[in-house]
Structure 1
Amino acid sequence: MPGTDATTITDLLDDLATDGGAPVPFTYNGRQYAARTRYTGEEVLELSARLLFVAPEHPISPEEYREMDPADRKAADELHRAEINRAYNEWMVAQLAFMLAEGDPALLWDEIGERPANVSNRLVRGIMRRTGLFNAQGEFLAS
């Protein structure tokens, strides 16, 4: 680039990178875990793209659904709820795997996910806060 001889050029994604030092250890149900605190800008960007869970669409079109027998609708809805739960659990394990430097994310989610939603949400926010990427309210990249 012309005129950049004395200028250091940096990648804008470096502004997203974090270096919070060594992983932050914590325990849950007597098991040892550690939250990552170092992320490249690319990793932070990747996480930002998958922060929100998107539930699978209902496999039956609205037109077909309206024509179904009520018992068949109920069965279809139960199957859809089960698929949403499976997808959500898979998504949460992936989120935890991204945030943990040590420990089994699937085991951790199995235990945390059994708790009432307000409790499990707060526990996950605690892990998120330890990464340095989220504040105490769970807001991403909040200062």
Structure 2
Amino acid sequence: MAVKGGTPKHYHTSFSETFIPVEGTLGVDVGKEQLRLIPGEIAVAPKNVVHRFYNPGTTPIRFQVKIAPAESRFLESLCIGYGLADDGLTNNKGIPAKLDHLAVLMEHADSRFTGFLALIEPILLRRAVRARKKGVMNALREKYCR
């Protein structure tokens, strides 16, 4: 992950995430805990617990994430999200520039947010339904999940 990279606070309703640093220091906030993990350490964000992960340092880091139970929709969402970023279709924090893309990814990855994003979440979830019907998710899968 790039310097200053990371995610906003969020949670998942159907799976937990385990964070496993491989190289460098990984910042992980789970609930009220603020952790700095180095290789050999792990942190678990249980389902329905607010968390975020980020690079707190000055050099890129590498880490692994384990999803339990395994969730193919989440993997697809990662492929799409990174594909959009590689194509320059996200902002500098990795958030898709197109609202339909953000909506279907949020719903597909079972990601729920806090703060301001939580206020617009119901709107995004409704938009995700319409975007799926228009074929947005299928087009993103076709382009980035091969």
Q: Which has a greater percent of strand?
A: 2
Q: TM-score, normalised by structure 1?
A: 0.29
Instruction: Give the greater-gyration-radius structure (CA).
Output: 1
Instruction: Name the structure where helix makes up a greater proportion of residues.
Output: 1
